[in-house]
Structure 1
Amino acid sequence: MPVRAWRAEQHEAETAAALLIAFRNHNGADWPSDNAFYAGVEKLLEDPNTVFLLAAADDDSPPAGVLQLRFRFGIWKAATDAWIEDLYVREDARRHGLGDALITLAIELAAERGCRRVELDTNEDNAAALALYERHGFSTRSKGGPGRDLFLGRPIDAE
C-alpha cells in the first residue's frame, strides 16, 4: 500500500499535537508544555492561514508524520507565500516516504492557493532533511542573488 498524506481536520488536532510533542522531545526540549501544544494546534486549525498535514505508511497505519504549513502575503512576489514551519516523522517511520508525501502535498496545496514560493528553515547539519528538501527543489539560493540565503532569528525575552 502506498504512503498517504492528507490535510488534518479539527478532530485530528490531538494527533497532530502528539506528533509535534514527539518532535519537541526529539529535539531535547521540554517546553512548551504538552497542553500548550494541544491548545495551539486546536487554535491554529481554526486559522485559515494555517494547515496541518498528516502522513501514514498506509491506510491501516496511524499517522507518523506531521507538517505545519502557514500562508502569508509576500510583497516581493505580489502573491501568497507558504512557510513550512514544522516537519516531523517519527523515527520508526523514517525512510519510508512519509516526508516526501508531506512535502509533495504541501507544495500542491501552496500551488492551489496561488503561492509563488514555499520557504522553510532547517539546521545545516541535518543532512537527511537537506536531502529531502533538495529532492523537492529547495535551495539555499532560492532568492536568485549571489551567496546563500540565510534564515535569521532573535528571541524576544519576556520580562
Structure 2
Amino acid sequence: MTVSPKSSSAACIRPLTVDDRAEWGSLWREYLEFYETRLPDEVYNSTFARLLGDDPHDFSCFVAEADGRLVGLTHFLFHRHAWKVESVCYLQDLFASSDVRGTGVGRALIEAVYAEADSRGAPSVYWLTQEFNHTARHLYDRVGQLTPFIKYQRP
C-alpha cells in the first residue's frame, strides 16, 4: 500500500521489523509527547518485543516509510467482544510525523488496519482520541463514525 506524501516519493505502509527499533522508538516518543506522557525505557522495550512477537492476542504495528525513513506508525490489537461472535480491532496508537501530516499517511495507516481487520474477519475497528485533537479528528471524521461513548477509567 502506498500514499503520496508532500515529497515526490511515496510512503510505503508495511509491518514493523526488528530493524525499525530506533526509528519506531523516536516516532512513538513524539506521539507520547503530544499526549504529555513519558514512559521508562522498560516499556519501550516491552512494547517493541510484543509488537514483533507471535502471540495473536498481542499488539501489531504498521509503519509508514518514505524517502528511506519511518514517518508514521499505528499499533492495533484484535480482541474478543461480548456483543459479537467475531473479534474486533482496537487501533490504539496512530502517529504521523509533522512534516507529512495532511499528505495521506494517517489515512493510509488507518486503511491498512481496516484491510487487516477485513482479512481477519473482524467486523469493526475502533479507537479513542482526545477531544482537543482537532487535526486528527478532521481525518477521523472522514474515515470513521463518531460514537456517543464516554471513557471512564479507574483513578
User: Which TM-score band applies after superposition, normalised by the shorter structure?
Assistant: 0.7 to 0.9
Deviating beyond 6 angstroms after TM superposition, the runs of 4 or more aligned structure 1 residues are none
Q: For this pair of structures, how many residues does the alignment match?
A: 145
Correspondence 1:43 to 2:24: no
Indicate which of 30, 33, 36 corresponds to 1:25. 33
Return the TM-score normalized by structure 1: 0.81
Identity among equivalent positions (%) equals 25
In structure 2, C-alpha distance between the alignment counterparts of 1:99 and 1:123, rounded to whole Å: 16
Q: Which residues in structure 2 correspond to 1:124-135 (within 5 Å)?
A: 124-135=131-142
Correspondence 1:52 to 2:44: no
In structure 2, C-alpha distance between the alignment counterparts of 1:12 and 1:101, rounded to whole Å: 19
Return the TM-score normalized by structure 2: 0.83
Per-residue CA deviation, residues 126-148 of structure 1 (Å, 9 max, x unaligned), is 112112112113322xxxxxxx1
Task: Give the AA of the match of 1:154.
Answer: R
* Alignment RMSD (CA, Å): 1.8
Per-residue CA deviation, residues 62-82 of structure 1 (Å, 9 max, x unaligned), is 111110011101121211110
Structure 2, unaligned stretches of length 5 or more? 1-8
In structure 1, C-alpha distance between the alignment counterparts of 2:41 and 2:98, rounded to whole Å: 20
Correspondence 1:117 to 2:124: yes
Per-residue CA deviation, residues 4-49 of structure 1 (Å, 9 max, x unaligned), is 21111233244323211121223333x3123421332113320323
